[in-house]
Amino acid sequence: MYVKIKNFILELFFPSFCLNCQKLGHLLCKNCYNDLKFYFSQNKIQEIKSNLKVIYFDDLQIMAKFEGSLAKLIKALKYQDSKNIAPLLSKMLWRHLIVPQVDFITFIPLHPYKLRARGYNQCQEIALEFGRLANTPVKNLLERTKNIKAQAKIKNQQERLQRMQNTFQIRSKYKDLIKNKTIILIDDVLTTGATLNAASKTLKDSGAKAIFGLIVASKNE
Ligand SMILES: [Zn+2]
């Protein structure tokens, strides 16, 4: 009861509005939702094959193109301290992708410096709600081994791919857990696929049976 009243008061004074067009109501209004360019569960591995020498994940689904209202939502989630956007993106993923049954759900980790600055990992937030919807445990399996230049600042694709190698390692407490497991790996934005591939390689090297990449948005066509 108390929570209900508190939520009501919060909504009264801080109502939600569409982050794209400011319309009062939901974080994403119907019009702006209809603007999204969904990919409808196509397997997108072919499209990034030319970027990667070896592909370590088994399937790749991307929800929609990184543009317009979806790009705004993701940027707000990452840079404007808007954690409340994550469950909305999780529900959209759940609704728009064909979700395989797996042993675990995991996500691309942030470097600890970034995590401290941001206060949360947006991919973890998306994964947590997604795990509730899929009724599957979410595990923080991976960690970054070293800081790398922000992706956006690296223009040279070769440099980006090289830096990506050995970026991730399995958290020591999960080392024995991964063998023969099937895992969904969640990331928010895909560009070359190098990040997803490096994380998948780390999981496969530890004996993971299959990795299914689920991505919210792609910067490619
Ligand atoms: Zn709107």
- Domain at 166, CATH number: 3.40.50
- For residues 52 and 126, membership in a common domain is answered with yes
Query: Residues 67-88: what's their mean pLDDT?
Result: 92
Q: Are 198 and 213 in contact (CB under 8 A)?
A: no
Query: What is d(CA 24, CA 18) in angstroms, rounded to the nearest whole number?
Result: 6
- For residues 23 and 58, membership in a common domain is answered with no
Per-residue pLDDT at 211 exceeds 60: yes
Q: Separation of 29 CA from ligand 1 center, angstroms?
A: 4
pLDDT category, 77, cuts 50, 70, 90?
A: very high
18 φ, ψ (degrees, to nearest 5): -65, 125
Per-residue pLDDT at 206 exceeds 70: yes
- For residues 17 and 40, membership in a common domain is answered with no
- For residues 10 and 118, membership in a common domain is answered with no
H-helix segments, the chain:
2-13, 30-34, 45-48, 68-79, 86-96, 112-118, 122-134, 157-164, 194-205
- For residues 23 and 126, membership in a common domain is answered with no
Query: Residues 9-17: what's their mean pLDDT?
Result: 62
- For residues 95 and 27, membership in a common domain is answered with no
Q: Separation of 23 CA from ligand 1 center, angstroms?
A: 6
CB atoms within 10 A of CB 215: 25
Count of domains forming the chain: 2
Report the pLDDT value the prediction gives residue 10, as an integer from 0 to 100: 54
Q: Separation of 15 CA from ligand 1 center, angstroms?
A: 14
Closest CA to 57 of 205, 217, 220, 218: 205
Range of the domain at 4: 1-34
- For residues 160 and 131, membership in a common domain is answered with yes
pLDDT category, 25, cuts 50, 70, 90?
A: confident
Q: Separation of 96 CA from ligand 1 center, angstroms?
A: 19
Q: Separation of 125 CA from ligand 1 center, angstroms?
A: 23
- For residues 25 and 51, membership in a common domain is answered with no
Report the pLDDT value the prediction gives residue 46, as an integer from 0 to 100: 77
Q: Separation of 28 CA from ligand 1 center, angstroms?
A: 5
Q: Separation of 128 CA from ligand 1 center, angstroms?
A: 26
Q: Separation of 78 CA from ligand 1 center, angstroms?
A: 19
Q: Separation of 4 CA from ligand 1 center, angstroms?
A: 26
DSSP 18: -
Residues of the chain above pLDDT 70, percent: 82
- For residues 44 and 139, membership in a common domain is answered with yes
Report the pLDDT value the prediction gives residue 47, as an integer from 0 to 100: 76
Lowest mean pLDDT across 51-55, 99-103, 115-119, 203-207: 51-55
Per-chain residues with Cβ under 5 A from ion ligand 1: 18, 20-21, 23, 29, 32
Query: Residues 33-45: what's their mean pLDDT?
Result: 81
Report the pLDDT value the prediction gives residue 2, as an integer from 0 to 100: 58
pLDDT category, 129, cuts 50, 70, 90?
A: very high
- For residues 185 and 211, membership in a common domain is answered with yes
Q: Separation of 190 CA from ligand 1 center, angstroms?
A: 24
Q: Are 196 and 215 in contact (CB under 8 A)?
A: yes
pLDDT category, 50, cuts 50, 70, 90?
A: confident
pLDDT category, 39, cuts 50, 70, 90?
A: confident
- For residues 29 and 40, membership in a common domain is answered with no
DSSP 60: E
Query: Residues 92-120: what's their mean pLDDT?
Result: 94
